[in-house]
Each structure stands twice: as C-alpha cells, then as structure tokens.
Amino acid sequence: MKTQIATEKAPGAIGPYSQAIDCGPFIFASGQIPINPATGEIPEGITAQTHQALCNVKAILEAAGLTMDNVVKTTVYLADMGDFAAMNAVYAEAFSAPFPARSAVAVRELPKQVLVEIEVLAAK
C-alpha cells in the first residue's frame, strides 16, 4: 500500500509523479531541484542551489512527520562533479552523524539546467 505525500512548501510535481510516497516503514522522496516554492526562482551557484534543494527535501519530510534524521540514503545528482566539494560542505550541515548512505553522480543535464538534484529515502 502506498500513500502520496504532498506539500506546498516544496515545488509541486511537474508531471506524473509524487513529491514523495509513504510505503509502510519508508518514505521515498522524488529528487528535489533547487526551486524556491514561494517564488519559483532558482538561486545561482552550487552552494545556494544545494541549500534550496535540501530545504525542499526537509519540507517534504516534515509533511510526512519526519526530519532529516530519518534519512537513511540519499542520491545527489550533479551537473558538474567539479561542484562536489561545495555541495558536500552544504550537505554536511544538513545531516548529523550517523550520516545517511549516499551516492553522488555527475549527469549530463538536470531539469531546468540546475546544478544539483537530491533524492532521499527515509525510515520512520
């Protein structure tokens, strides 16, 4: 059984997908790009974009009654692996030990030409 999770505090789904799905003991959140849900704007630079993407993740988790501490796995997609260190510095501030497992990969292109997209798997 699955239940949709949706919040106006994160960008709405643009297409046939959900912001997140509650599936028993786990929450599967779709990748979040750095769109400010209040303004629709995308900040400039990897630092600001990583921060906004993580704010969007946090808002979705809060809608599910969870926090960043519930995250057990993340996947970070970067448009340029040269941005890894700057992304990692912001990422490190968003999570605490024990840190979630993580994959970080460079991709050819991300939606709206953003620099970063972050998806998470959280446990209740």
> Cis (ω within 30 of 0) for the bond into 98?
yes
Average pLDDT in the chain: 97
- pTM of the entire predicted model: 0.96
> CB burial class (10 A; 0-12, 13-18, 19+) of residue 1?
exposed
Q: How far apart are CA 66 and CA 64, in angstroms?
A: 6
Count the domains in the chain.
1
Q: Report the CATH number that the domain containing residue 76 is assigned in CATH.
A: 3.30.1330.40
Does 1 score more than 90 pLDDT? no
Residue pLDDT, tens place only, 31-54:
999 999 999 999 999 999 999 999
Percentage of residues in the chain with pLDDT exceeding 70?
100
In which domain, by residue range, is 20 found? Answer: 3-123
Average pLDDT over residues 55-73: 98
